[in-house]
């Protein structure tokens, strides 16, 4: 279920509150004097190669960064393997793209070992895939993060897709954010707010199609593209057009277009996509600064999947 639309939803919220850049010990070009080679260029090359093999990795990586940063900050804790790590929490079971980060880390370690953090590689990779699906438009990524030492499934507390726009804004504001990402397909199809009927705001054709794909008593393992414009699943603007047509999959999707707190933002994105790209970059810079570890905090992992043992 990870798609451009889920990512657009996530950043749609962020754009309402992010207005500037991050501060502190993060900086653009942090590794320029620490490595003899351009490690950011190496990450870009690896990401581009993976993208050419599978373009759907773009929204997947953007989603990964959001899921990492929202839980205890941007410390690459989502990458750690283990029986009870963040990876094992239900909202993260569909997060993917770990092999891209692994490949980028291996390439960087080969030329500048034990210097570049996995947390920074996530941020670089996110910037790179956004550029790949937006005709080369790049935003500057601030680096200097260090990797976390703790990753627990019980720490994963992402807002439910059933949350109202107002409550979602409040929840994310507590972290300096205003965002959510897709989690699960809601019960809008069969029992909207315990009425026994589909959500009345959902496009009737879409409700019929989704009920066919997701029978009421099914195991819940079927997947649905959150962007119902199948020819444009890599175009962020398409997602906003779809929810304006009452074709949002998640309940929070549709409320973005209907709620007075967010409807004007949605309409503005549809009207001016070039402005959205710039604000997206600003949003990602701010998101990437949430509760980061810097200086001597945390560590620089040798492998993104495990805490250092020496």
The CA distance from 2 to 61, in Å, is 10
Q: What is the dihedral of CA 130, 282, 17, 239, to 10 degrees?
A: -20
The CA distance from 256 to 98, in Å, is 30
Q: Is 204 exposed, middle or buried (0-12, 13-18, 19+ CB in 10 A)?
A: exposed
| Cα diameter, the chain | 63
| Given 63, 67, 127, 241, the catalytic residue | 67
Structural tokens at position 186: 């809601």
Is residue 67 annotated as a catalytic residue, yes or no?
Answer: yes
Answer yes or no: are the C-beta atoms of 238 and 227 closer than 8 Å. yes
3-state secondary structure string, 226-249? CCCCHHHCCCHHHHHHHHHCCCCC
Q: Which residue is associated with the tokens 């950043």?
A: 11
The CA distance from 99 to 76, in Å, is 14
Q: Which residues contact 166 (CB under 8 A, 6 or more apart)?
A: 259, 261
In terms of phi and psi (left: phi > 0; alpha: psi -120 to 50; beta: otherwise), the region of 136 is left
| DSSP 8-state symbol, 188 | G
From residue 170, alpha-carbon distances to 13, 46, 174, 187, 283 in Å are 11, 38, 7, 23, 17
The CA distance from 267 to 293, in Å, is 37
Q: Active-site positions?
A: 67
């Amino acid at each position: 279920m990870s798609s451009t639309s889920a990512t657009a939803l996530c950043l749609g919220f962020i754009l309402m509150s992010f207005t500037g850049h991050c501060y502190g010990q993060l900086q653009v070009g942090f590794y320029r004097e620490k490595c003899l080679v351009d490690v950011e260029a190496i990450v870009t090359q690896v990401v581009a190669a993976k993208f050419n093999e599978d373009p759907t990795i773009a929204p997947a990586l953007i989603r990964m960064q959001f899921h990492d940063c929202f839980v205890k900050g941007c410390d690459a804790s989502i990458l750690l393997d283990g029986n009870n790590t963040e990876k094992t929490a239900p909202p993260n079971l569909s997060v993917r793209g770990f092999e891209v980060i692994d490949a980028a880390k291996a390439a960087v370690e080969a030329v500048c070992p034990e210097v570049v953090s996995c947390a920074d590689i996530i941020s670089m990779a996110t910037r790179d895939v956004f550029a790949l699906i937006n005709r080369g438009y790049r935003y500057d990524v601030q680096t200097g993060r260090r990797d976390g030492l703790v990753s627990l499934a019980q720490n994963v507390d992402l807002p439910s897709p059933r949350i109202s726009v107002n409550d979602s804004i409040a929840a994310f504001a507590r972290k300096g954010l205003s965002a959510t990402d897709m989690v699960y397909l809601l019960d809008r199809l069969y029992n909207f707010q315990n009425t026994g009927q589909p959500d009345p705001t959902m496009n009737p054709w879409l409700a019929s199609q989704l009920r066919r794909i997701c029978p009421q008593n099914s195991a819940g393992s079927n997947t649905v593209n959150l962007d119902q414009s199948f020819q444009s699943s890599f175009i962020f603007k398409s997602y906003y057009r779809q929810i304006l047509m009452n074709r949002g999959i998640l309940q929070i999707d549709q409320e973005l277009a209907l709620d007075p707190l967010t409807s004007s933002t949605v309409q503005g994105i549809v009207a001016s996509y070039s402005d959205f790209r710039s604000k997206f970059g600003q949003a990602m810079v701010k998101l990437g600064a949430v509760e980061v570890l810097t200086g001597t905090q945390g560590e620089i992992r040798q492998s993104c999947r495990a805490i250092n043992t020496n």
